[in-house]
Structure 1
């Protein structure tokens, strides 16, 4: 398998962590989708990463689709419950974490891809309110539990840590560590795992 992605993307990081936890072999192909010479649309018409290229020519895109498929390839380190409420709970955590990244990335793009005179303060505030509300919801749902769901690592924890790690990387002014020490405790614990150490955004 080949994974097209960047070292800064939190969505790519989520896939890379899942592949490491599942002990799956793959080749990482670095791609800057913002570069004029990018060829990402040859693989993904949406022009986004991550993009997974299978040996038989099948192409998968969207991190949520990719990680769900990867979790079926081997029983090692099962990350998504097979069915029922537990599965829905993990997927809701993933949706919330992805939503934080979606909103924060829109803010970053507004600030880096548009001229200052064209930037909308109201738009930025709207997106940042989603980030703030979601962090609060995550903290309240986690409480003092050691993991987001159940008693072992799941895709929920990976997704949350990828969102928090990207905020620390791109939005250091958001002091989620002080505001939500339980999230910081979870993040620090997960950051000791080799899969997280090897995928720190840069």
Structure 2
């Protein structure tokens, strides 16, 4: 064998050893990773019951916390219903126990006296009143039905004709002149009695005129 072949063989062997070492190293790494992953899976398998136990414990604790809350709400609801029922019972007791005011309907009193007739003859009117006070209606009672005032006719007979008559003459007024002849007047009225609607008026004049101071005025010789 030549030296060059020895060197060549040695290099080939070296490469082969390196390849095999690399292969062994890769296989070792793969085995290590595989064992690590298996160990991880085993650990996870071991932790899984613990996790499930924690979840179960969480649910149990949640339920344990939820139950008092529900009981508390239930108690509140029962108390509220009890208070409402109590108030209803009290209202019913008051409604039944307190005596109700009896409804009193109003009634008319007797008619009062007639008023004086508006006319003495020819037909006049008169009136009379009554009140809703026998008894007076209560708050929830009915008012009286009908009118509180009644109007009627009176003195329907025909009026007799009254003729008018003169009153006495009044006093003479002052003379129109102090001398030489003046005039004066006086009045009377048709009021003794005053004529009725169908009576006769007074006949004659209501004014009377006369002469006065007929004496001559000084310095005038003629007499009027």
TM-score range, shorter chain: under 0.3
Q: Taking CA–CA contacts closer than 8 Å with sequence separation of 6 or more, which of the two structures ends up with the larger relative contact order?
A: 1
The higher radius of gyration belongs to 2
TM-score scaled by length of structure 1? 0.16
